Each structure stands twice: as C-alpha cells, then as structure tokens.
C-alpha cells in the first residue's frame, strides 16, 4: 500500500462524436503527465458531452468500446493509469461510466448513480442509473468516484465513505452559468467534504458544445476545506498534484491557485468560447452579421472578433430611409475599431420592389408593422445570400429581452445560425459593452481598447424601421422590463408575486402575455449560448399553444 501518489488533472476540451480524436488527445495528455501515477479526465470524455441521442446509436457504443480498449492497451507501457469517462451497454441499457485503465487493461468500471433530468440535462432519457458505487482500489488506495451529479447528493458520498473511500475524485461535465463557481466550491464540494471528512478532486472540461459553454475551473479541496489547487477557467490545463498520507489522511501539497473570472468577464468569455467552438467545429470559414450601428450588433461583432479574429468577421450595414446618420457613422466606426471587413448594401431597392409587388394587395391600408417586418426580412435575405455564396455563418444579434416579448422578426433579424446574445437581457448587453470597451478578455483575439463608440451605448435603442422609432415607444424602459422578465422566466413568478415586488399590475400582465404568445418565434430561433439559469431552448420548454395566464 502506497503512502504517496501523483495524480494528474487533465482539464480538456472534447469533440462530441469524434471518438478517435478524443482518444488521441487523451494519449497526448497522458504523455505530458509523465511521472504521474494516475491521470483523470472529465465526464464522458471519450465520446463527448452532452452526447444527446447520438449515444443511442449502437455503432457509437461499439466504437467507444474499441477506443477504450486502445487506451487501455497504451497503459501497458508502465506510465500513468487513466480514469476515463465513457459509455457502456449492459443487458440492453446504457450507463454513463468511468473506467480505470492500467497495466494494459480495464481494471474497474463505475456507473453514474444520479442522472440529472432538469434544465439542459436529460440523462434519464439516455442512461440507466447505476447502483451506489463502491470505491475503486488503486494501488492499495480506496478512491471514491462520484460522477458529476453524484457529488450533489450526500448519500452517494456518504456511501463511499462508509465503504472505506479515502479520497474522492469527481469527473464532471458541468456547463457554465452565472455564479456557478460559488455553488460548485462552497455549496456542493465544500458540503460533501465537510460531511465525509475526505479530500476531493473536481475535474471539469472546457470548450463550447452547441448551446453550452464549459468553463473548467477544476480544483482540489483538502479535508480541511482549503483549496490546494485551482485551475484556470476557460483554458485547457494539466496539473500534477502530489499527495501524501499522514496519520491515515490523504493530504495534497499546495500548488498554484488561479483567480477565476468575475462578472461580467465570465459571461463575455462564455460567449466567446461557445461561438468559437461552434464555428470552428462546424467548419465555417467565419461569420457574417448585420451591423446596424446599435448596441446589440456592436456587441455581437465584438464577441465574434474576440472569438475568431477580425479576418474571419464580415460586418454589413444595410441602411434604409429610416437609418440615421449617427447609426451610419457608429457602424463604420465599430468595424474600424474591430478591424473587421465592412460593406454597405442599401435595402431601398428591395423595399421599392416589395412595395410595387404588394401595392395592389395593400391598397387602401395604412403602413404598419407589415412594412417594418418586410425591411427586416429583406436584410435577412441579403445576409443569407452572402452566407450561401461565401460560406460564412450568419450570426444573429437579438437579445433575450427582445426574444422574451417577441420584438424580433421571424425570418428577418431572427434568421441565422447562432446567437451569442440569446440568453443576455438588454441590461446585460449594456454591462458587457461597457466592460469590453474598458477590458481585454482573456480569450480575446480582437484589439485591446474600445470596440465601439460610446454613443452606441448611450443613445436610446431603436430598430429604425420607421421615423423617429424608439424601443420605449412600445416597451417599458429596459431597467424596468428586465427585472419583470427575470421574475417571469428565471423565477417562474406569477403576476401577483411581481406586483408584490412593486411592479404595476397591468404592465406585468401585458409582459406575461407577450412572453407566452412569442413562444412560437423562440421555437424557430437559432441556438445560442446559455448564460443564466433558464435559457430559452433546453432549459425552458413551453407549449406554443397555451391558454394559461397567472392573472
């Protein structure tokens, strides 16, 4: 029985479904971890996370078995053993597991017990729950391996402790959301360590996967609740942790402790990493977006440049008769500050053509929202034309406040492949814009210094689809609207509960009605990175046809 261990934490990215590439990457990380006894990887690292219904394909499970065998054979060289997350099938059901690979073989498998089935997670659809896990015996040391959600439940770690576990290792696929670091470290890890008296290694992945951003931020917590190692957020990292056993207790020698992003830097980097990996892994040469001179498109362009670099971002101004000179000037200045390509394509020829085409049918009716939406859809057609011709993905620029109340044009400004602002309320957009003008993000490939004119942030928001239009013509000020939306969406409050907070009843009832009737639009919107606790899409699944109201 050993009284010393060197355990390597591999905080890595992964590519869902690319099993051979994931296995190759793990072998490369293992080479870098020379001198370690054991290297541990995040949850389901071999197949990628979350796999969704891809994991239901028998061919994927067969390939996972072959790649796991290849990884196991590699450990015959006497180097570090590997703790690998994968999927196995047994008696017709699937299990989310970790496998210990050493001495050329798979020597232990442990199944995930607690399967999350809320928010972005639907693991009960895919996997069967395993039994309460027994510790793994590794070189005479009993190691408990609660997989991700297992660490949130005290009876899992209590069982491991009762079965003789001396150390807890938790492989995770834990996506970013605001304030998640505090919940992981204090509310979850700290509580389990305090209850069991066991030190804990928490390993998480980094990178974007569709609507999710994984922030890493892996750590080692001692039995005394001290943080011995804190890995950085957003970046791949490898650390070799040294462990010694004193008086029957495993202790981790202190190492480097990286500081983690605070708000709104964490939100901004989540947008950057999600967009970067979505564009790169789907093999787009870059993105194209409409740059209107407003704050939403300016921030979207800044995130795109920071994610991809200015040479892969194409900004297009599409002015109409209602576009102000301020907007024209602000758009060109945004593009100049970012160093991105900038083109101007006026939409008036298209507007005139549609006026002529619809003139007889629209005769005798006043101009209204129909003509406004036509302008937006013309812009969508132009941008999709550029996307089809040159291959750039169209980046949409709408924010969560607009999507909540339906103030977006379906098949117009909603057209596109991805939205970095989908889960960002308008007030968050203002905060992020001010922050980016004053800070350089750690992941940024864009320029240091301001990325948009200050006037973009200070001028009243407007869609500029009619003369002298302002958002506040038909909506409450965003400082008032967003707290109402947060209560309705994130907290699922009723009208009366929001009235009790001091909001005006008729206003809240109107916003609730707009929220429900816009569901059909949101169902057809592009994916976008999850930032908060209830994003539109996987987190919040409402029926389109819905007569329920709380007032």
Q: For residues 130 and 149, give the distance between their C-alpha atoms in angstroms, rounded to a whole number.
A: 12
pLDDT at 464 > cutoff 70: no
At the topology level, CATH places domain 4-252 in Nitrilase/N-carbamoyl-D-aminoacid amidohydrolase (3.60.110)
Give per-residue burial for 312-334: e unless 16+ CB within 10 Å, then b: bbbbbbbbbebbeeebeebbbbb
DSSP 166-223: -EEEEE---B--TTHHHIIIIIIIIHHHHHH---EEEE--EEEETTEEEEB--EEE-T
Q: Is residue 138 predicted with pLDDT exceeding 70? A: yes
pLDDT single digits (tens) 428-439? 999 999 999 999
Residue range 232-265, pLDDT digits in tens: 999 999 999 999 999 889 999 999 999 999 999 9
Give the pLDDT of residue 1.
Answer: 62
pTM for this prediction: 0.93
Are the CB atoms for 72 and 106 separated by under 8 Å? yes
Q: Is 521 annotated as a binding residue?
A: yes
Q: Is 17 annotated as a binding residue?
A: no
From CA 171, how far away is CA 1, in angstroms rounded?
A: 24
Question: Is-catalytic flag, 262?
Answer: no
Is 291 annotated as a binding-site member? yes
Q: Return the pLDDT at 371.
A: 85
Cα–Cα distance, 376 to 396 (Å, whole number): 12
- Say whether 75 counts as a known binding-site residue: no
User: Which position among 43, 67, 211, 512 bears the catalytic label?
Assistant: 43
Show the beta-strand stretches assigned E in 50-160. 81-90, 93-102, 105-111, 136-138, 141-144
Q: Which of 35-39, 481-485, 538-542 has the lowest mean pLDDT?
A: 538-542
Put residue 238 in one of left, alpha, beta given phi > 0 → left and psi -120 to 50 → alpha: beta
- pLDDT for 466 equals 65
373 annotated to a ligand binding site = yes
Which CATH superfamily is 265-468 part of?
HUPs (3.40.50.620)
Average pLDDT over residues 214-229: 96
Q: Looking at 114, 148, 166, 530, which residue is catalytic?
A: 148
Q: What is the mean pLDDT of the chain?
A: 93
470 has binding-site annotation: no
pLDDT at 188 over 70: yes
Mean pLDDT, to the nearest integer, of 449-463?
Answer: 89
Task: Report, as an integer, the average pLDDT of 488-517.
Answer: 94
> Does 290 belong to an annotated binding site?
yes
Confidence tier at 9 by pLDDT (50, 70, 90): very high
Based on the residue annotation, tell me whether 148 is a catalytic residue of this protein.
Answer: yes
State the catalytic residue, choosing from 67, 102, 112, 166.
112
Taking 80 as the threshold, does the pLDDT of residue 71 lie above it?
yes
* Domain spans of the chain, in order of start: 4-252, 265-468
Does 389 qualify as catalytic in the annotation?
no
Res 333 pLDDT > 80: yes
Q: Is 397 annotated as a binding residue?
A: yes
Residue 393 pLDDT? 98
């Amino acid at each position: 029985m050993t009284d010393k261990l060197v355990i390597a934490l591999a905080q890595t990215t992964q590519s869902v479904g690319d099993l051979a590439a994931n296995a190759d990457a793990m072998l490369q990380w293992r080479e870098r971890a020379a001198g370690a006894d054991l290297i541990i990887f995040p949850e389901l690292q071999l197949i990628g996370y979350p796999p969704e219904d891809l994991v239901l394909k028998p061919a994927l499970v067969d390939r996972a078995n072959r790649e796991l065998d290849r990884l196991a054979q590699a450990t015959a060289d006497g180097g570090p053993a590997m703790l690998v997350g994968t999927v196995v099938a047994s008696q017709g059901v699937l299990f989310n597991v970790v496998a210990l690979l050493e001495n050329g073989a798979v020597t232990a498998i442990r199944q995930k017990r607690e399967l999350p089935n809320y928010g972005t997670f639907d693991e009960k659809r895919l996997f069967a729950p395993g039994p309460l896990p027994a510790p793994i015996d590794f070189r005479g040391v009993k190691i408990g391996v609660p997989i991700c959600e297992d660490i949130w439940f005290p009876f899992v770690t209590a069982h491991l402790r009762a079965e003789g576990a001396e150390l807890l290792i938790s492989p995770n696929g834990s996506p970013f959301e605001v304030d998640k670091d505090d919940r992981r470290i204090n509310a979850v890890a700290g509580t389990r360590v305090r209850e069991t008296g066991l030190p804990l290694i928490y390993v998480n992945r980094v990178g974007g996967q569709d609507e999710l951003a994984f922030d890493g931020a892996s750590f080692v917590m001692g039995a005394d609740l001290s943080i011995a190692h804190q890995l950085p957020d957003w970046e791949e990292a490898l650390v070799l942790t040294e462990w010694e056993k004193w008086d029957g207790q495993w202790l981790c020698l202190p190492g480097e402790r990286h500081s983690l992003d605070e708000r709104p830097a964490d939100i901004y980097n989540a947008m950057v990493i999600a967009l970067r990996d979505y564009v790169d892994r789907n093999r787009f040469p870059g993105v194209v977006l409409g740059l209107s001179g407003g704050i939403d498109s300016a921030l979207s362009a800044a995130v795109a440049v920071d994610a991809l670099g200015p040479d892969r971002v194409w900004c297009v101004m599409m002015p109409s008769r209602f576009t102000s000179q301020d907007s024209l000037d602000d758009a060109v200045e945004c593009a100049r500050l970012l160093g991105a390509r900038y083109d101007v394509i006026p939409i008036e020829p298209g507007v005139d053509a549609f006026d002529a085409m619809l003139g007889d049918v629209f005769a005798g009716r006043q101009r209204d929202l129909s003509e406004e939406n036509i302008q937006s859809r013309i812009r969508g057609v132009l941008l999709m034309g550029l996307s089809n011709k040159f291959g750039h993905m169209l980046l949409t620029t709408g924010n969560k406040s607009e999507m909540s109340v339906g103030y977006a044009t379906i098949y117009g400004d909603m057209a596109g492949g991805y939205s970095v602002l989908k889960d960002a309320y308008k007030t968050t957009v203002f905060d992020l814009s001010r922050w980016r003008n004053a800070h350089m993000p750690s992941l940024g490939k864009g320029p240091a210094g301001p990325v948009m004119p200050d006037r973009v942030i200070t001028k009243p928001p407007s869609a500029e689809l009619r003369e002298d239009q302002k958002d506040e013509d038909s909506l409450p000020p965003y400082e008032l609207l967003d707290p109402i939306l947060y209560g309705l969406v994130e907290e699922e409050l009723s009208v009366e509960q929001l009235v009790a907070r001091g909001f005006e009843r008729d206003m809240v009832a109107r916003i609730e009605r707009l929220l429900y009737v816009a569901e059909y639009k949101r169902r057809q919107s592009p994916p976008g990175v999850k930032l908060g606790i209830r994003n539109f899409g996987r987190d919040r699944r409402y029926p389109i046809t819905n007569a329920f109201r709380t007032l």
